[in-house]
Structure 1
């Protein structure tokens, strides 16, 4: 063995070994659900495209808006745009992607909102370091109209707080990075609900797995009168939402009662329906989403 070969061997031995746990090979799909408000979509996508940790794929799913987001489609040729075949709400779309994507993790994002540039990097590092199944973050509200609504503080230990009060919302759904296989293991989303499916799933996930919130503000939520939670037909206090809330709250009480009694956790979504059907519009094709 000559001196040069020996030098190379010693040099390679000195390099730090990358463990499988910290390998950059994990596949991450960022899912942006979108409906109507095209003027905020570009800002939203830019906040995802410019993340310090890049997603493997980014998909924008339009839920049958009156017009396609043509400007965004032209501005972001490396982002995949698809459209739902019917206006079924965000949870039906998200459940389809949980079932059909080939990625390890799903990063959620509402198209009205935007993300901190280090959001994915921090959430991914946390999910690995803490062996977590799902990680959310703190958020900050940005108000587009005059309304008195306090931004919630998410608990760092959602399970402990949920056991104390089964009706709290211990993780803010759009802030989350989720292990896709875990989401399916605990039953997925109640895709038959246009609203409330996030609350129902989160409580099951919190009780069945390791779900945490980080203490950093990584997500910025836009509060406006046309949002699902503030529109007169779908917002807080609307008849349809109140009806769903009754079912979801009953399930929450039963979930925590059973866990406290014998440690059991139901992994059944309470309102499943047929999956969404997605039509390709533009951008790269994504494995599993054909």
Structure 2
């Protein structure tokens, strides 16, 4: 991390927002961004891009190696709609966003197809009525045998609106030796009633709401798989997610955990989105696949906290095990729902415009 980024984050964490503003504004009078190593410059620009899109666009002019897709996301944040693009790999998501904003649904469908093909994944049709949908996939996949059972823990709380897409995506995985355990954290809607139609999954209904990490730990206790993974109730998994993560674990002798990537879709607009603006394809902490024995050794999730315990466990794994023990599959193996009043967006547990959260800062 560059000295400049450390200084900016120090101001934000101290809630000295005027000082953070002044720091960025002062850079317009210098060529400091141009003098940084590319990695440090981009890290800083990405960090401030969603806070000051206009200033960041201006600062980007100091360099000729700032990715064009990133600059497109800044223009979108400022209310502009860039021309239709054709980008590669993760940046295809930016092109898809632009196509949908320009109401070019057919072009967006072709880009989604091309997006998955670039990662050698089965293409999924996610475009419906000029929006991206979560789990618009009814094509049954061929099931492959796996000797080691995988348990998938899903925690729910008032998830009636999206739980079917979540469970359907898990039942449509390309491996067959799995168990799905849903732990309902005292929902007050009809989530549990909806789950009754799934005869092959195990549903545990809790009488008191104690948070998703408490519910996950209960699911782990009830699991019988050699490996355990997780999925949020408003997420959808690509049919090949479990197979690819399991394959990497089994084929890498030093591996103890695997993670995949995902992107989010805004529930209201139907556009790919992330809180930080860019890049849109990001690490999915909930995708962690790990052996049950390692989870037991690490003490599972800290259920005394309602947020950030997955990140805390992730950091613990990194501190104990070598870097080659963690496998990162940088493929779009899930789609998450970005919605109001989730743990990420709610006022009490979410982030402000500077990317700061009082609650999360204390953890």
Aligned counterpart for 1:31 among listed residues 134, 137, 153? 153
Work out whether residues 193 and 244 of structure 1, in 8 Å CA contact, stay in contact via their aligned partners in 2: no
Q: Is 1:246 matched up with 2:358?
A: no
Aligned to 1:139: 262
Quote the Cα distance in structure 2 between the aligned partners of 1:172 and 1:127.
Answer: 17
Q: Is 1:215 matched up with 2:330?
A: yes
| Cα distance per residue 1:148-176 (max 9 Å; x no partner) | 6335555xxxxxxxxxxxxxxxx532122
Quote the Cα distance in structure 1 between the aligned partners of 2:190 and 2:248.
Answer: 36
Length-normalised TM-score, structure 1: 0.65
Aligned to 2:223: 101
- CA 39–243 in structure 1, closer or farther in 2 if over 3 Å, else same: same
Aligned to 1:48: 170
1:185-196 aligned within 5 A: 185-196=297-308
Work out whether residues 113 and 220 of structure 1, in 8 Å CA contact, stay in contact via their aligned partners in 2: yes
- CA 82–175 in structure 1, closer or farther in 2 if over 3 Å, else same: same
| RMSD of aligned alpha carbons | 2.5
Aligned to 1:172: 284
3-state DSSP class of the match of 2:346?
A: coil
3-state DSSP class of the match of 2:331?
A: strand
Quote the Cα distance in structure 2 between the aligned partners of 1:91 and 1:41.
Answer: 18
What 5-or-longer segments of structure 1 have no aligned partner?
A: 1-22, 155-170, 249-290
Aligned to 1:7: none
Quote the Cα distance in structure 2 between the aligned partners of 1:127 and 1:178.
Answer: 8
Aligned to 2:139: none
Aligned residues between the structures: 209
Quote the Cα distance in structure 1 between the aligned partners of 2:228 and 2:328.
Answer: 16
3-state DSSP class of the match of 1:75?
A: coil
Quote the Cα distance in structure 2 between the aligned partners of 1:199 and 1:74.
Answer: 32
1:10-159 aligned within 5 A: 24-131=146-253, 132-145=255-268, 149=275, 150=277, 153-154=281-282
What 5-or-longer segments of structure 2 have no aligned partner?
A: 1-144
Q: Is 1:226 matched up with 2:341?
A: yes
Large movers: runs of 4+ above 6 Å: none
- CA 192–237 in structure 1, closer or farther in 2 if over 3 Å, else same: farther
Of stretches 141-150 and 124-133 in structure 1, the one that deviates more from structure 2 is 141-150
Of stretches 62-71 and 206-215 in structure 1, the one that deviates more from structure 2 is 62-71
3-state DSSP class of the match of 2:265?
A: strand
Deviation at 1:213, TM superposition (A): 0.9
Deviation at 1:221, TM superposition (A): 0.7
3-state DSSP class of the match of 1:212?
A: strand
Deviation at 1:206, TM superposition (A): 1.7
Deviation at 1:92, TM superposition (A): 0.9
Length-normalised TM-score, structure 2: 0.53
Aligned to 2:105: none
Work out whether residues 183 and 205 of structure 1, in 8 Å CA contact, stay in contact via their aligned partners in 2: no
Aligned counterpart for 1:236 among listed residues 348, 351, 354? 351
Work out whether residues 134 and 179 of structure 1, in 8 Å CA contact, stay in contact via their aligned partners in 2: yes
Deviation at 1:28, TM superposition (A): 1.4
- CA 243–185 in structure 1, closer or farther in 2 if over 3 Å, else same: farther
Quote the Cα distance in structure 1 between the aligned partners of 2:188 and 2:349.
Answer: 18
Deviation at 1:100, TM superposition (A): 4.6
Quote the Cα distance in structure 2 between the aligned partners of 1:223 and 1:65.
Answer: 20
